[in-house]
Amino acid sequence: MTKEHFELEMRRLKTQWPNSYGSERLALIWHRFKDTANHVFTALVTGALNSLRSPPLADDLSKLEQEYTRNEAQLRIQMRHDISFGRQIEELAKNNRTADPEFVQGCLKLLRDRQNGKLTEEQFLQGCDYFDQIANRRT
């Protein structure tokens, strides 16, 4: 992290807790987090502002960093799973021999739109219900 970015983020904390960060405390926090990426330190400060009632010290920020790292790892795992699941669905659709191709493409578009954030979970489920009704009418 750059020294300028550190100072910017510490100003955010000082705005909330004006009398809590003397030069020695700032030096200790800088020493502990100087190798942290800018965006990660910003996330830690934001987390502290959102969840802590008292000024965060280095240990508090370290705990927030552990939580951040854990959440990022879980997100990467979920994204890999979602990509793998999407590929499996695409492969199944490609090998489809029984369902109406237009119906299959409509379902795939619905799934892609949900994965890309174009649809909420509720909208996605409504679309699934719609396609289910269409399928039941055709049988």
39-51 residue pLDDT tens = 999 999 999 999 9
Report how many domains make up the chain: 2
Within a domain: residue 107?
yes
75-110 residue pLDDT tens = 777 767 666 777 777 777 788 777 778 888 888 888
Nearest to 5 by CA among 59, 46, 42: 42
Cα distance between the two ends of the chain: 62
CA 43, 47, 52 angle in degrees (round to 5)? 155
Contact 4, 34 (CB under 8 A): no
Within a domain: residue 25?
yes
Percent residues over pLDDT 70 in the chain: 96
Do both 61 and 17 map to the same domain?
yes
Within a domain: residue 62?
yes
Question: What whole-number distance in Å separates Cα of residue 120 and Cα of residue 63?
Answer: 32
For residue 132, the enclosing domain spans 96-138
Do both 107 and 70 map to the same domain?
no
Look up the pTM and report it.
Answer: 0.56
